[in-house]
Amino acid sequence: MNNTPSPTSSATRSRGNGKRLAQAALPDELNSWVGDFDRHLSLVVGLAAASRRQYRFFVRRFLAEYRPAIARDQWVPRAEWLTAFVRQEAARLHVHSRKKPGTALRAWLRYLVFCGMAGRELEAAIPSMPQWKYASLPVHLTAEETERVLGAALDGSAHELRNRAMLLVLARMGVRACELTHLMLDDIDWVEGCVRVRPGKSHRERRLPLPCEVGEALCAYIDADLATKQRALEKLAPAEAASFRFKPSDSVLAFLQQL
């Protein structure tokens, strides 16, 4: 089996010039392969379009550099190619983006395993890229550390009640941070005791049970938030018309919704 890589593509190779990495040009057969990979990500894995676009980008660059000279169903990437490619691509990227090449190639290797074209052991060849900004933070919190974090948000203010509610959603329900930011009150079914999680990295909606502790924390935050807005309404009411029931205009309501 001839696994010798072909010459590198004409993609941008300069470092430190602020330019975006260039899209790699591929022959029709490899373009078809990338298209099959994309359909797998969409229909089987359920990845969103933005994630699929990122994965395709780096897989195309890898194939352009280590272009198979034989039929794709007989070609298996070498471990040293995977390691070298991820390191060289990461070196060209901003520190916050250095994990992207490895993530993309892991997804592609899993696709090859799914198709019976490669073994799972190749995934170990992809190095992990450290993010030094967060190097001092633990990868996971222990149960004891989680309780300490939750206990730090207990001064009773609306702001701290919100923090505690959000922390409990993360800790007790296991949602992602990006899913939490899209959570709305309409997503909570108080009668059935469940929460609708909108599509995030995948385009699949989920429904999760709402633990009593989380529900109570959300209610405490909502009550405190409404009380804060009610006090703001009272401050805006005309002082000389104590018996007048203040009805805020649309512009005032828009302002209050931002509090």
Q: Where in the chain is the domain with CATH 1.10.443.10?
A: 143-238
0.85 exceeded by the pTM? no
Closest CA to 100 of 68, 56, 137, 135: 56
* CA–CA gap between residue 95 and residue 97 (Å, rounded): 5
* CA–CA gap between residue 191 and residue 187 (Å, rounded): 12
Confidence of residue 4 (pLDDT cuts 50, 70, 90): very low
Q: Which of the two residues, 62 and 141, has the higher pLDDT score?
A: 62
pLDDT at residue 73 above 90? no
SS (H, E, C) the chain: CCCCCCCCCCCCCCCCCCCCCCCCCCCHHHHHHHHHHHHHHHHHHCECHHHHHHHHHHHHHHHHHCCCCCCHHHCCCCHHHHHHHHHHHHHCCCHHHCCHHHHHHHHHHHHHHHCCCCCHHHHHHCCCCCCHHHCCCCCCCCHHHHHHHHHCCCCCCHHHHHHHHHHHHHHHHCCCHHHHHCCCHHHEECCCCEEEECCCCECCCEEEECCHHHHHHHHHHHHHHHHHHHHHHHHHCCCCCCCCCCCCCHHHHHHHCCC
Average pLDDT over residues 119-130: 85
Segment 146-201, tens digit of pLDDT = 888 887 756 677 788 888 888 899 889 888 888 888 888 889 999 999 999 887 66
Segment 28-45, tens digit of pLDDT = 778 888 999 999 999 888
pLDDT at residue 9 above 50? no
Token pair in block for residue 251:
């512009």
- The whole-chain average pLDDT of the chain stands at 77
Q: Which of the two residues, 254 and 5, has the higher pLDDT score?
A: 254
Q: Which of the two residues, 95 and 136, has the higher pLDDT score?
A: 95
Give me the pLDDT at residue 140, please.
77
Segment 48-64, tens digit of pLDDT = 888 999 999 999 999 88
Fold of 28-130: DNA polymerase; domain 1 (1.10.150)
Confidence of residue 11 (pLDDT cuts 50, 70, 90): very low
pLDDT at residue 10 above 60? no
Q: Which of the two residues, 115 and 136, has the higher pLDDT score?
A: 115
Backbone φ, ψ for residue 178 (5° rounding): -65, -30
Fold of 143-238: hpI Integrase; Chain A (1.10.443)
Q: Which residues pair with 71 in a beta bridge?
A: none
Inter-residue contact 71 to 101 (CB < 8 Å): no
Q: Where in the chain is the domain with CATH 1.10.150?
A: 28-130
pLDDT at residue 98 above 70? yes
- Virtual torsion, Cα 126, 117, 66, 132, nearest 10 deg: -10
